[in-house]
Amino acid sequence: MATYIIHRTVGQVSETDIEAASYRANAALASMSGIRWIRSYYSAEEGKIYCEYEALSLDLLIEHARRADIPFDGATIVRELDPDMFR
36: in domain: yes
72: in domain: yes
pLDDT at 42: 96
- Residue from 77, 81, 80, 75 nearest 2 by CA: 77
What is this structure's pTM? 0.90
86: in domain: no
pLDDT at 73: 98
Q: Dump pLDDT digits (tens) for 6-65.
A: 999 999 999 999 999 999 999 999 999 999 999 999 999 999 999 999 999 999 999 999
Domain count, the chain: 1
The three-state secondary structure class of 85 is helix
Instruction: Tell me the β-bridge partners of 75.
Output: 6
43: in domain: yes
87: in domain: no
Task: Give the structural domain span for 28.
Answer: 2-81
- CATH number reported for the structural domain that contains residue 63 in this entry: 3.30.70.3090
19: in domain: yes
pLDDT at 59: 97
